[in-house]
Amino acid sequence: MKNVGNLTDQLPIGLEIKPGKLDRRFICRELDGKDLRFIYDSVYRKNHPMEWVARVLCLVLEEIAGERVYAQYRQLDYEKIPDIVKKITSADASYILVAGHAFTFGEKLDEVTDKCSNCGRKIVVSMDLSKLSVTRNIEDKFGFTVKLTKPVGFKTDEKDMFSIKGRLFDTLDFRYPLIGDTMNNEEYFKPNDRGDFDYRIMSDSLMVIFGTDAAPMSSEYLQFRRHSIWDSFSAMALKEVRRGFADIPSIEFAKECVCPQCSEDTLVGINPTQLFPRV
């Protein structure tokens, strides 16, 4: 695709080819009527929202990191998601969807609907996708670290087979969340209540927890507690973890616009489904 504004042929994060090496290259393909027929399938989109995103990526991408995507998907009779798509970060997936619209329809997105944060009325605006804010990973590190202000401890039984008793932990290393993670946890996704889904994505992305003594938590204990680990965190500690995820390099799926109803500035969010208008 051609570079326009903040949209380039380089992903904000990229695929981890090997430790310390990221490949940010991708190439979009122009969508056709058959592609749009699937994208418009509202029943599939409602029942399988995360898999729907993965399949749209298969249709939008000609290549990523030098590997053919759509050709693989076609060879698999449009049934199986190629493994490389599951390795795309969720942040990069959002960027690819925006780039896919720009490549097929152009940079302008018409009829973006939302509610004004000031007057509460429905608004419909147009948006220049090339001007959406993009933050990029300037390092070749495939993840991030969260340092807690107040260390946390974990309960254990009398045997303390994982050597947890009495220890405090304050440093968490995460890899970036992947499309494969969202697909694996799709059953927990609820559009109006993402709490459980988000916690599971956080858990699957957690690689290691270090104690205040700089020694790592037992990997066996981490695996044992993986999806209940956050129960031991204070609200402030969880807020710090969530802040780490909020700071992941990505494209902002929202833009400040002037409400045509009350003439006040309001933040208008983009639903991924709005990126592929009916034609």
CB atoms within 10 A of CB 249: 20
Say whether pTM exceeds 0.85.
Answer: yes
Instruction: Identify the pLDDT of residue 157.
Output: 72
Instruction: Convert the pLDDT of each residue in 89-105 to its tens digit.
Output: 999 999 999 999 999 99
Separation in Å, CA 68 to CA 83, 106, 214, 225 = 11, 23, 42, 38
* Closest to 206 measured CA to CA, from 153, 159, 244: 244
Instruction: Identify the pLDDT of residue 277.
Output: 76
Q: Which residues contact 254 (CB under 8 A, 6 or more apart)?
A: 267, 268, 269, 270
Instruction: Identify the pLDDT of residue 164.
Output: 85
Instruction: Identify the pLDDT of residue 98.
Output: 95
Instruction: Identify the pLDDT of residue 10.
Output: 95
Name the phi and psi angles at 165, rounded to 5. -55, 130
Q: Which stretches in the chain have pLDDT values below 70?
A: 1-2, 158, 160
Q: Where are the domains of the chain?
A: 10-137+250-275, 143-246
For residues 23 and 9, the answer to whether their CB atoms sit within 8 Å is no
The SS3 assignment for 236 reads helix
Alpha-helical (H) ranges within the chain are 33-39, 42-47, 49-60, 70-75, 83-86, 90-105, 179-184, 195-205, 219-224, 235-246
